[in-house]
Structure 1
């Protein structure tokens, strides 16, 4: 990727609801959250998550997140595909831009990145390595 943007990412309004629980203690939940990005990548997002928790409290998850704002001075929207883990109070998330979702100055955007966040930290450092704009 030709460019890399960094941003402070703050997640808020986390709402999680159970879907199913297995006899093993494994549970399936769905969640939504809002995000605020500030830095080279500035704007807001809404994420939808599907999480699988094991009996020990660890989780694996997938989801999507919309983004609306500016990326290195270019304005538009795009959608990220998310996947990651939650273990020992730390979320590790990787993402990639879903092809064809960029609008405005971000039409044609491709890229990937992610972040790592500790539960009690106020924000995380998010990155996106990108091309196409």
Structure 2
């Protein structure tokens, strides 16, 4: 049975470094951040990002985030694979639980979802 988890996340401690840049063209960067989750997910996450800032259009990124905490009262950790864009209205992210990454009471977790700015959803199964 698929269940929906909802809540908010607060991204903090953003540290970004330029990797390559050409004047008037795209910029590539890496970043690391932390996130505090509230709602159905209670805990913290650490994320590693790869970013591209095109000369025109929204920034694009991919990343992985290890969540540690609780999902509806079950304790453990899992890894999310993320991709998205960032524009004048904020962050638009889709994510997927990396198969086999769940630990402890979250072993066997699978799911997809994402977030718009600070509001997340995770459609998940726990087998």
Counting matched residue pairs gives 127
Q: List aligned pairs for 1:77-88, cutoff 5 A.
A: 77-88=77-88
Which stretch of the first structure deviates more once superposed, 33-42 or 85-94? 85-94
Distance (Å, rounded) in 1 between the aligned partners of 2:23 and 2:39: 45
- Give 1:102's aligned residue: 102
What is the alpha-carbon root mean square deviation over aligned residues?
1.3
Q: List aligned pairs for 1:1-133, cutoff 5 A.
A: 2-56=2-56, 58-117=58-117, 124-133=118-127
Compute the TM-score of the two structures, normalised by the length of structure 1. Answer: 0.90
Which stretch of the first structure deviates more once superposed, 57-66 or 31-40? 57-66
Q: Which runs of 5+ in 2 are unaligned?
A: none
Compute the TM-score of the two structures, normalised by the length of structure 2. Answer: 0.95
Distance (Å, rounded) in 1 between the aligned partners of 2:39 and 2:89: 25
Q: Which runs of 5+ in 1 are unaligned?
A: 118-123
Aligned structure 1 segments of 4 or more residues deviating by more than 6 angstroms: none
Distance (Å, rounded) in 1 between the aligned partners of 2:26 and 2:2: 41
* Aligned residues of 1:94 and 1:114 also touching (Cα < 8 A): yes
Distance (Å, rounded) in 2 between the aligned partners of 1:57 and 1:47: 24
